[in-house]
Amino acid sequence: MALEATFTQLVDRLTELKEAIGHLQFAVDARSPRVQHHVADRLEDRVIPDLRGLTDAAWTAAGDAHAAAADPAKAAALGRSLMTCQRSFSALVRTLSTDLLAYAPMGELIGVSQERDTEWQVWTDGVINAIDRCQQPVYDVEQALLQCWQELLERVGMTAVSVTATNIGQQIQVAEPQAPVVSNAT
């Protein structure tokens, strides 16, 4: 796949992830005023804004990389943008894993649903479904990033120049120092 097409695919996959995170935010924000709990507050105040910020940062960096991919002279900018995208995406995956998908936060979310009324159950089911909808886009972005790294490395490998100098058959000799001739002028 051509380098530009690979980065187009990355931007598209990140756009899908942004949409999935948007659905998650919608599900979290859909709680009624009666749904008050620290789990909901944590999701609304910290987790969702973190995920949105990291997704936006990755998407912006991918767009910068896509723009740089068109010009072979911008290989350094392309690499920096791809690295920024990778870092943002890795932080996003870490946030998803530790703040949503791990046993403790998921158990807490399910526990709230089981100990409260139907309104809570509807809210938590919506949030859990939205979390599930994020998993495939995360996988797709991961695959697109891998493809981008592969294409970038192939481009670098194609444009690399190797110069090897050899001195086969050539002899270099250093003359031995000669003693100065001193004449006696007497």
Query: What would the pLDDT profile of 47-106 be if each residue is shown by its tens digit?
Result: 999 999 999 999 999 999 999 998 888 888 999 999 999 999 999 999 999 999 999 989
Q: Name the least confident of 24-28, 74-78, 145-149, 164-168.
A: 164-168
Sequence-distant contacts of 33-41: CB under 8 A, at least 24 apart: 34/119, 35/119, 35/120, 35/123, 37/112, 37/116, 37/120, 39/105, 39/108, 39/109, 39/112, 40/112, 40/123
Average pLDDT over residues 97-119: 85
In which band, very low, low, confident or very high, does the pLDDT at 159 lie, cut at 50, 70 and 90? low
- The domain total for the chain is 1
Contact 65, 44 (CB under 8 A): no
Q: For residue 166, is it within any domain?
A: no
142 within some domain:
yes
- The rounded distance, in Å, linking the Cα atoms of 58 and 54 is 6
- CATH number for 154: 1.20.120.230
In angstroms, rounded to a whole number, what is the distance separating the alpha carbons of residues 18 and 143? 16
Query: Is residue 55 in a domain?
Result: yes
What pLDDT, on a 0 to 100 scale, did the predictor assign at position 75?
A: 86
Q: What percent of the chain has pLDDT over 90?
A: 54
Nearest-angstrom CA–CA distance, 52 and 155: 32
Banded model confidence at residue 128, pLDDT cuts 50, 70, 90: very high
Which uninterrupted H or E stretch holds 59? helix 48-69
Q: Considering the domain boundaries, does residue 168 fall inside one?
A: no
In the structure, what pLDDT confidence band is assigned to residue 3 with cuts at 50, 70 and 90?
A: confident
For the chain, how far is it from start to end, CA to CA, in angstroms? 90
Give just the sign of the alpha carbon dihedral 82, 86, 92, 93. Answer: positive
pLDDT of residue 120: 82
Q: How many CB atoms lie within 10 A of CB 24?
A: 25
Residue 169 inside a domain? The answer is no
Share of the chain above pLDDT 70, in %: 81
d(CA 123, CA 30): 7
In a domain, 165, yes or no: no
Residue 32 maps to a domain: yes
**In Å, how far are 67, 94, 96, 97 from 90, measured between CA atoms?**
22, 6, 10, 10
Give the domain extent around 140: 3-159
pLDDT at residue number 173: 57
pTM for this one? 0.79
pLDDT for 99 equals 92
The pLDDT of 154-159, averaged and rounded, is: 72
The dihedral region occupied by 169, where left means phi > 0, alpha psi between -120 and 50, and beta the remainder, is: left
182 within some domain: no
Q: Is 75 left (phi over 0), alpha (psi -120 to 50) or beta?
A: alpha
